[in-house]
Chains A and B, each alone.
Chain A
Amino acid sequence: MLKLPIYLDNNATTPMDPRVLEAMTPYFLEHFGNAASRNHPFGWEAEEAVDYAREQVAKLIGADPKEIIFTSGATEGDNLGIKGVYEMYASKGNHIITATTEHKAVLDTCKHIEKIGGEVTYLQVNTEGLIDLKELEAAIKPTTILIAIMYANNEIGVIMPIKEISAIARKHGVLLFTDGTQAVGKIPVDVNKDGIDLMAFSAHKMYGPKGVGALYVRRKNPRVKVTAQMDGGGHERGMRSGTLNVPGIVGFGKACEICMLDMEEDTKRISKMRDHLETELLKLEEAYVNGSREHRLPHVANISFKHVEGEGLLMGFNKNIALSSGSACTSASLEPSYVLKALGLGDDLAHSSLRFGLGRFTTDEQIEYTIKAISETVLKLREMSPLWEMYKEGIDLNTIEWAAH
């Protein structure tokens, strides 16, 4: 029996894997110690568990355990990585290069840096959602200290050419920070092969618990340091103070271990479902995939259904299917997704988009149900859409002078 509602918003968060919860439970109850308590068995057990988790996390990304700084999640990692580098390398320069499609945690951190005297270049992306490497290289100046480009985008799933980006960064002696939140655990990420100097990522996007993440900080070639953003007990090699979230970290470690073991199998199964979903939905007239289909995460699809508004579309099935829309009709700003707009999409197509994030627990049956529900709703709403009627009558919507609204 198909159980409703269906969860297809795995880019927002993932359900916890039961194996992760199982690993965590003892650390809430009998092993509740503070990992920084050096003088008794409670502390020792907690520290040992954290060390083990640090190894599991490091292994997934090909890092040394000493290079893992535990944080509260990717937003903190983005802040610590970018602000920490900005402060630590102030004597070298104050210029940072990023892109317009980054997550708000990166963009707003960069805006903060601009306010305190830094200089930031925001690279545009092409219609596929990718930055131009030549433009990136041309943007580097003597004062550039950091390039901050995400590994994969949260809205469209597009994977940036990180290896090529890091080669450029290395050539010019600039550090590379990447927000790996959507990529780590889903596709192979190796900090050495990819040439990453700093990377933020989070447990709850990979079937781990919320409230825990990590910042990878390279220790060799080059040795990277960040200025702490919170004062306190000097935990995490002085870079992130605060009592460690032991059960969360244990769960994070387990989640990483499972991702590593299951990645190949999961990817094969999930990408097959994603491709099927996409093929079927593209059979609808005037349906378009947003962003590169070639350089894309295996579990993500972002599709616009022209002349149907995204939120109105979601309402047709959101009791039964959990999805996101690029339409921001619910927000006070009424601005559609800045990521889709950065691809050059008109506001109308941006308003008409749905983001599908499949996951480890998605089933074929759920996908079949989703294809049917969405196709039916799109057809029903198009019958109700004046834009669809005009389109069908051959009227060019761009020639209409829309009443100011």
Chain B
Amino acid sequence: MAYSEKVIDHYQNPKNVGTLDKSAKNVGTGLVGAPECGDVMRLQIQVDDAGMITDAKFKTFGCGSAIASSSLATEWLKGKSVDEALKIDNMDIVEELNLPPVKIHCSVLAEDAIKSAINDYRVKNGLEAIKFEESVVH
């Protein structure tokens, strides 16, 4: 199976690899997936007082498509408001990276990671966690 050029580029030059202080109040952390499934994504956002995402970092254990999906997600998150970030759909990632059907779960995982990070941030700041519908592909 050949990877798309965009996947290869993200794999070779991943954007925003790293760790934010998960105990900080303005940092939301999402850890999704499981080692048994062959992919684990950790995505973090740093949010300012105006509700804008000023920084995003990831670390991913997984195949090239999982790494690319999380790298792309962090790029898209930076500069967005938390509300805008909620609108990121896994199919946007599929389209941008040209993921084949067997790799769609990587994009779902990235979307889950975003939502999970946002909820972590919300709960830390006294807001209620948003209930999301169960993802279809698992």
Using a CB-CB cutoff of 8 Å, which residues 22-42 of chain B contact chain A? 31-42
Contact count band on B? 20 to 34
- A328 and B38 CA atoms in complex are apart in Å by 9
B residues less than 8 Å from A351 (CB atoms):
35-36, 38
Given A327-B38, A384-B17, A387-B40: A308 in contact with B61 (beta carbons within 8 A)? yes
* Contact A405–B14 (Cβ < 8 Å): no
Q: Taking CB as reference atom, which chain B residue is nearest A319?
A: B8
Q: 1/0 per residue B61-78: CB within 8 Å of A?
A: 111101100000000000
Q: 1/0 per residue A388-405: CB within 8 Å of B?
A: 110000000100101111
| A204 at the B interface (CB under 8 A) | no
| A-B pairs with beta carbons under 8 A, tally | 96
| A330 at the B interface (CB under 8 A) | yes
Given A384-B17, A404-B138: A336 in contact with B63 (beta carbons within 8 A)? no
Point out the residue from A332, A346, A388, A402 that lies within 8 Å of B33, measured CB to CB: A402
Most chain B CB atoms below 10 A, which of A311, A316, A332, A384 = A384
* Contact A346–B36 (Cβ < 8 Å): yes
B residues less than 8 Å from A403 (CB atoms):
31-34, 112, 116
Interface of B is mostly: mixed
- A268 and B113 CA atoms in complex are apart in Å by 51
Instruction: Tell me how far the C-beta of B133 lies from the nearest C-beta in chain A, rounded to whole angstroms.
Output: 14
- A312 and B14 CA atoms in complex are apart in Å by 13
* Contact B59–A384 (Cβ < 8 Å): yes
- A175 and B84 CA atoms in complex are apart in Å by 69
Given A334-B38, A347-B36, A348-B35: A312 in contact with B102 (beta carbons within 8 A)? no
Given A347-B36, A405-B109: A386 in contact with B17 (beta carbons within 8 A)? no
* Contact B35–A402 (Cβ < 8 Å): yes
* Contact B33–A309 (Cβ < 8 Å): no
Interface of A is mostly: loop
- A331 and B33 CA atoms in complex are apart in Å by 17
* Contact A329–B41 (Cβ < 8 Å): no
* Contact A309–B19 (Cβ < 8 Å): no
Instruction: Tell me how far the C-beta of A271 lies from the nearest C-beta in chain B, rounded to whole angstroms.
Output: 31
- A312 and B131 CA atoms in complex are apart in Å by 32
A residues less than 8 Å from B35 (CB atoms):
346-348, 351, 387, 397, 402
* Contact A384–B14 (Cβ < 8 Å): yes
B residues less than 8 Å from A404 (CB atoms):
34, 138
| B107 at the A interface (CB under 8 A) | no
| A307 at the B interface (CB under 8 A) | yes
Given A384-B14, A403-B112: A311 in contact with B61 (beta carbons within 8 A)? no
- A404 and B137 CA atoms in complex are apart in Å by 12
B residues less than 8 Å from A373 (CB atoms):
none
* Contact B11–A402 (Cβ < 8 Å): no
Point out the residue from B59, B67, B102, B138 that lies within 8 Å of A405, measured CB to CB: B138
13 contacts between A and B (CB under 8 A): A311-B64, A312-B63, A312-B67, A315-B3, A315-B64, A386-B40, A386-B60, A388-B61, A389-B59, A402-B36, A403-B112, A404-B34, A405-B32
Q: Which residues of A contact B (CB under 8 A)?
A: 307-312, 315-316, 327-332, 334, 336, 346-348, 351, 383-389, 397, 400, 402-405
